[in-house]
Amino acid sequence: MTAMPNIRFLDRATPPHIITLILITGMSAMNMSIFLPSLAAMTTYFQTDYAIMQIALSGYLAATALLQLFIGPFSDRYGRRNMIMGSLVIFVFATMGAYFATSIEAFLFFRILQAAVATCMALSRAVVRDMVPQEEAASMIGYVTMGMAIVPMIGPMIGGALDQWFGWHATFIFLAICGLMVFVMVYLDLGETVKSGGVSFADQLKGYPELLRSPRFWGYVLATAFSSGAFFALLGGASFVATSLFGLSPLWSGVALGAPACGYAAGNYISGRFSTRVGVNRMALLGTVVTIIGLSISLIITLSGVAHPLNFFGFCVFLGLGNGLTMPNAMAGSISVRPHLAGTASGLGGAFMIGGGAALSQLAGGLLTVESGTLPLQLVMLGTSVLAFLAISFVIWRAKQVA
């Protein structure tokens, strides 16, 4: 399919509007980051340690990774629409549970249950691939994630402001309202994009060996996992860096956490404009190079003795810019290796991406101390970015071998 059918907004008889795709993807992204400026206040409220409170992020990411192993196969079989709507219902329920939680155990249970909303992020990519071929998918995913990038950019700012003015509980009321609004949007606009009743589990199992034996698939998946790993490491340590090392308020911590998203929005815009012309492989490679250059400069400045939030968070714009170039193109590549298993490939790739992110976020939070400064986190982010460069370089090399 090379031409998009006519799209009418809020008409689920036609393909979903890009605004709907942005909102369902952004809901998952916002839930991941909006509460980060409140981690210190929540640690005090629940009378626990920061490392335990950190599970609200790393445990959430781990549950997301596990969930994505099942999201793809079930959506390939039963369709995207019902999976997305069901996940939003569970999300709203879990969000209210977190709001009313009076112990850290109860809060973490409902927080991890909120991971159901990750279904939206994984399946939005599969919906795009259902609609258009690979190069156009990279472009469209770029536009979707460009719009989505606004959410993590303003999400921590909103969370920080809500915390500062009303307390951290207000953040979860805000999330529940947003979840309900997105549910209504999905109900009205998102029709089913899986045709002919989906792919049976038996047929999917037959296709798994073919997918898992593909070197290109693994190259794309690892490039995505390592690229996002640098960002998840930042999420794991940014709250400590902002509050304990630089003494920023919740509001300014949210502003600082929005810096990478500014670059991410720009990178996704560039992907949306040029991926079809330049190609997914070269765009992804360019993204890893941009990230490595920016993080290397920041590390050199830190090693020279400069410890300032503008150096640390300012250069994270390059991390966002690089990811904005790498992620949509590597994602489009991974789900295009076997298009009939787009949901399965998206879920499996997402599991590796988020699972690695969970480990790196917990690692980053554990390595940081007041004495160490930002250096351990900067080294982790740079190291994973170099691995992403090697992974996409392998994909390019492999493409030349089979050409």
Q: Tell whether 2 is covered by a domain.
A: no
Q: What average pLDDT score do residues 188-212 get?
A: 69
Q: Give me the pLDDT at residue 178, please.
A: 92
pLDDT at residue 2, as a whole number:
41
Report which residue type is found at 190: L
Q: For residue 256, which of 303, 311, 296 has the smallest C-alpha distance?
A: 311
Would you give the distance in Å from CA 394 to the centre of its chain? 23
Lowest mean pLDDT among 219-223, 331-335, 344-348, 374-378: 344-348
The domain containing residue 300 runs over which residues? 18-190+199-402
Residue 1 confidence (pLDDT) above 50? no
Q: d(Cα 273, Cα 15) in Å, to the nearest integer?
A: 21
With respect to residue 51, please indicate whether it lies within any of the assigned structural domains: yes
The verdict on residue 30 lying in a domain is yes
pLDDT digits (tens, 9 = 90+) for 4-43: 456 666 656 666 777 888 888 888 878 877 887 888 788 8
Please say if the pLDDT value at position 147 is more than 70: no
What local confidence, expressed as pLDDT, does residue 236 receive? 75
In a domain, 249, yes or no: yes
Rounded mean pLDDT, 229-253: 81
DSSP H helical segments within 190-308, as ranges? 201-212, 215-240, 250-257, 259-278, 280-303
Q: Is residue 106 classed as helix, strand or coil in its secondary structure?
A: helix
Confirm if 216 and 394 have CB atoms less than 8 A apart. Answer: no
In a domain, 360, yes or no: yes
Q: Which of 245-254, 305-314, 317-326 has the lowest mean pLDDT?
A: 245-254
pLDDT digits (tens, 9 = 90+) for 55-104: 887 788 788 878 877 777 777 777 788 888 999 999 999 999 999 999 99
Number of H helices, E strands in the chain: 17, 0
Query: Residue 12 falls within a domain, yes or no?
Result: no
How high is the pLDDT of residue 324? 87
Q: What percent of the chain has pLDDT over 70?
A: 83
Task: Say which CATH number the domain at 396 has.
Answer: 1.20.1250.20
Output phi, psi for 226, to 5 deg: -70, -35
Which residues fall within 8 angstroms of residue 165, CB to CB, at 6 or more apart? none
Tally of domains within the chain: 1
pLDDT of residue 3: 47
Helix 309-336 vs helix 134-166: crossing angle, to nearest 10:
140
Residue 8 lies in a domain: no
pLDDT tens sequence across 259-278: 787 888 788 788 878 887 88
Nearest to 116 by CA among 67, 81, 73: 67
Residue 11 lies in a domain: no
Mean pLDDT of the chain: 81
Task: Give pLDDT tens digits for 150-170.
Answer: 666 677 788 888 988 998 899
